[in-house]
Amino acid sequence: MNAPISAEALLAKIKALPAERIGQVADFIDFLATQERRRQAGQELREMWARMPSEEITPEIEQQIVDEVRAVRAERRSRNAT
C-alpha cells in the first residue's frame, strides 16, 4: 500500500507532468472512482443480503435476483460499448 499523500503534494506532482500525461491521470482517477463505487455497491448488497431472513429467499427468488443483476450488467456493457 502506498503512503498517504496530501492533496497539495499530489497536485504539485500532476502540475509537473506534460500536458498529454494529465489526461491519463484523469482517466486513472475515473477508473479508481468506478472501482470504489463498485466496491461500495457490493458491500451494500452483501449487508442487505445478510439482513434478509433466509426462509424468505427461495431458489426462485434467488435466481430472479441473479437474472436481474445480469440484465443490468449487460445493459451497462451495451451502453458503454456505444
Quote the pLDDT of residue 48. 86
The whole-angstrom separation of Cα 53 and Cα 57 is 7
Do 47 and 19 sit in the same domain of this protein?
A: yes
In the numeric block, the cell 484523469 is attached to 26
Number of domains present in the structure of the chain: 2
- What pLDDT tens digit does each residue of the chain (82 aa) get? 578 899 999 999 999 999 989 999 999 999 999 999 999 999 998 898 888 777 777 889 889 989 999 999 999 999 988 7
Do 62 and 82 sit in the same domain of this protein?
A: yes
Asked if residue 31 belongs to a domain, the reply is yes
**Contact in structure between 42 and 53 (CB atoms under 8 Å):** no
Task: Identify the domain containing residue 24 by its residue range.
Answer: 7-51
Model pTM above 0.85: no
Do 69 and 46 sit in the same domain of this protein?
A: no
Do 77 and 45 sit in the same domain of this protein?
A: no
The whole-angstrom separation of Cα 8 and Cα 21 is 18
* Whole-Å CA distances, 53 to 44, 56, 65: 16, 6, 15
Do 47 and 67 sit in the same domain of this protein?
A: no
